[in-house]
Structures are given as C-alpha cells and as structure tokens.
Structure 1
Amino acid sequence: MPTNTFFHLPEEKQQRLLDAAQIEFSRHSLQEASIANIVKLAEIPRGSFYQYFENKEDLYFYYFATLRKNSERDLEKQIIAENGDLIEAMDVYFSKMIVEVLTGENASFYRNLFVNMDYRASRRVTDNLATGEEEKNRKQHCHKHRGRKGHAAYAEHLYQIIDRSKLTIETPKEFTWFMQTAMHAVFSTIVDGYRQQRENTAYDSTEAVKQLKMKLSWLKNGAYK
C-alpha cells in the first residue's frame, strides 16, 4: 500500500503518478518496468517516489487495485441479484471482467500482468479480484480507519451471503479453496485469450467468455455425464 504521505498529496499529483504507472506497466512487465521511467513520466524526483511507495511492486498492485476498485461491491451485488447463487453471480461478473481485460482501455496492462504472473502476484491478484482487498485498504487509509478487514474476513462475509443450500461447501475454509479453484479457471481463460489474440488478430473475446462459462459449468455440474 502507498504511504500516508502519498494520500496527503494533492489529487493532481497522485493522478500523475498513477498515469505514469499506467504507461510504464503497459509497456513493460513488472520485472522489466523501471522506477526511473516512472518518476520521469510523473515529473517527480526519484527520492520522492520512496516517500510514497516502498518499491515498484507497491505501486504496481496499488494501480491494479484502482482499476478494480468496484470489484468487491460489484461481485457482492451480483451475488445478491442472483439470490445468493454463487456460480451464476461469478458467471455474470467474471464474463464481463474477461472482456474488459482482453479488449478494454487497460488491456496492455492486464496482458503484462496475467502473462507474466508468478505465484506471489497471483495471490495478490486473487485477493483483489475476489474481494477488492487492496481498494478496501486504500479507503481505510484515506478515512484513517484503524481497523483492517482482511481477505479472510471478507471471504467469510461472502460465505454468509451465498445460498449454501446449492453447494456442497460446508465451511469458510472450503469456500476459500473453492474460490481459489474458480480464480484459476478465470486466470487460465484470460491467459489463453491473450495467446489466441497473439496468434489470431481476428480473435473475438466472446470465445474466452464461452470457455469460462464451460469451466464454471464443470464446477457447478461436474464433468461426468
């Protein structure tokens, strides 16, 4: 997370840093991105960067969180709209998300994120996509809340609002395992979508949506006839 110093900056200066992050992380993977390029684009001294962020990873995942800032609310709203049906809610929510990451204005950033993702990054991204955790922490910094509601606490909240009568999931721990499995289905579909785009310029992102729907149907109904 950014430091309190960052949150005390004028909004215009905060946005300059985020705009610089968008450009650099869309051009390069996290591993290849350069703090020197970021501070040059943001027009700030290099030393100032470390007053705001611990390292480039800190900025990277915060920028990702700003893109996904409505993820927690939207997933929760979708679960409620589907009367607690978790699979149906995930079908609607993640189908929209896949089209966004493959073809939206931040597609280059997402491509670098998903194609170059390692285990550590996948854990951060999973927490954010499933719970909006990074954005929630940002809001707590902005409003100076002392309590921090962690990923486990929000997973427990989702567990309470889903219709568990439709599932064989019996404990919050099992729910966490299920969400990890579901997120792997989402990630693998996105990565395959980028591969298809690279090989075929006419590739339609709706094909990725079809793939995800099939994977979710296997989770819901099983693969056996």
Structure 2
Amino acid sequence: MPKETFFHLPLEKQQRIMRAAKKEFSRAPLGEASIAQIIKDAEIPRGSFYQYFEDKDDLYFYYFKSSHRNAQEELKKAMKKADGRLFDGFELYFAKMVEEVLQGPNAAFYRNLFMNMDYRSFHKVAPPFNRGIHPPLHQHQSDEQWQEFYDTIDLSLLQLESQEDLKILVKLLMHVVFSTVADGYRQLLDQPELDIDKIQAEFNLKISWLKYGAAKEIPKNEQRKEG
C-alpha cells in the first residue's frame, strides 16, 4: 500500500501518478517496467516517488487493487447465486470476469500480469490469497470477509474433510481461472481476435474434470488400495 504521504496529495496529482502507472505497466510486465518512465510521465521528482511508495512493486499492486473490480464480492455473489455449489459458482465468476480482463480498458495491464505471473504475484493478486495487498491493520478484517466467503459454500456437496481442504480446492480453482485467462491471451499469438466463447468452454471443461473426474474407471490397483 502507498505511504500516507500519497493519500495527502491533491486528487489530481494522485490520478496523474496512477495514469503514469497504468501506461508503463500496460507497456511492460512488472520486472521490466521503468520507474524512470513512470516519474517522467507523472511529472514528479524521483525522490518524491519514494515518499509515496516503498518501491515499484508497491505501486504495481496498489494499481492492481485500485483498478480491479472487487473480486471478493464477485466470488461471494457467484456462490450465493449458485446456492453454495462451488464449481457452479466458479463458472459464474469466470463468465463475469473473463471478458473484462481480456477485452476491457485494462486488458494490456492484465495481459502483462497473467502472462508473466509467478508464485509470488499469484498470491498477491488471486482471491482469497492476496494477503500482500492489504495493510496489516486491515488484514484481520480481510480474513473475516474471506471466512464469510467460505461460509457461503455448501460443504455437504463436496468430498472434503475440513475447511482446510476447501481452501486447497479453492486455490486449485483459482489456478485454473488464471491459467485459462493466460491461455486466452496466448490465442492472440495465433489469431487476430479473441474467442471468448471458446475460452469459456475451455474453462468449463476443466471445471467438469475437477467436478466429475477425467478417468473412465478406477484402475484395479487403485481399487485394491481403497479396499
């Protein structure tokens, strides 16, 4: 999160800095983005940048948070609409977010994010694992809000033994969301336009494999283990 000095700036100056951040982070992924270019476009001294932000990463993930729709609320709404059915809820969530991410006003930023994502950035931006985005004072509140999300899921429909198992499954589903979005951007390497319906169908197929399994039958050696 930015330092308090950033929030004391006039709104116009805050917006100018954020516009510069959007321009640079849309041009290049985080690792290749230039602080020099950001401060040039924002028309601020280099020293001022470090009065407002700890480093480039600090600005990057704050820009993500400020430009990203409330994924937490979107997930909760999707689960409630699906009556607590986890897999159906994720299909609804993906359908709502995929077009915005792939074709919305921040598509260039998201392309750099998703196609250069590593373990650290995944845990920074993927709900409900984005602990690094929240300041420590607000982390407890965020954890409580995510508990509300977990409580919307009907555990009786899942072969899980605990809520810790549920968290692992949700994490797996978020990996499917992010990898499918990245595959959507890769489509542009081979074709001029994105096929949103194809991307949605691919996601739903992956979800069906997780929901029902991909194996036609249990191998005999696995049956012996279960017995």
Aligned to 1:161: 152
Structure 1 residues 38 and 58: CA distance shift in structure 2, 3 A: same
- Is the CA contact 1:131–1:151 (under 8 Å) kept in the aligned structure 2? no
Point out the structure with max Rg over C-alpha.
2
The unaligned stretches of length 5 or more in structure 2 are: 217-227
Structure 1 pair 131–92 and aligned structure 2 pair: CA distance change class (3 A): farther
Take 2:46 and 2:107, find their aligned partners in 1: how far apart are those partners? 28
Percent identity of equivalent pairs: 47
Q: Partner of 1:29 in structure 2?
A: 29
Aligned to 1:57: 57
Q: CA deviation at 1:125?
A: 1.9
The two structures have a TM-score, normalised by structure 2, of 0.86
Contact 1:65 1:134 in 2 (8 A): no
Q: CA deviation at 1:30?
A: 0.7
**Residue in 2 aligned with 1:44?**
44
Aligned CA distance change for structure 1 residues 213 and 205 (closer, same or farther; 3 Å)? same
TM norm structure 1: 0.87
Contact 2:123 2:130 in 1 (8 A): no
The structural deviation recorded for 1:171 is: 1.8
Segments of structure 1 that go 5 or more residues without pairing to the other structure are 141-145
Query: What SS is found at the alignment partner of 1:17?
Result: helix
Relative contact order higher in (CA < 8 Å, ≥ 6 apart):
1
Q: Which residue of structure 1 lines up, in the alignment, with residue 108 of structure 2? A: 108
User: What is the Cα deviation at residue 223 of structure 1?
Assistant: 1.4
Contact 1:71-1:132 at 8 Å conserved across structures = no
Shift of 1:61: 0.8
Look up the match of 2:180.
Answer: 189
CA RMSD in angstroms comes to 2.1
Moved more, 17-26 or 215-224: 215-224
Paired residues, number: 216
Measured in 2, the distance between the counterparts of 1:210 and 1:43 equals 45
What's the CA shift string for 1:54-80, capped at 9, x where partnerless?
111111111111122421112112212
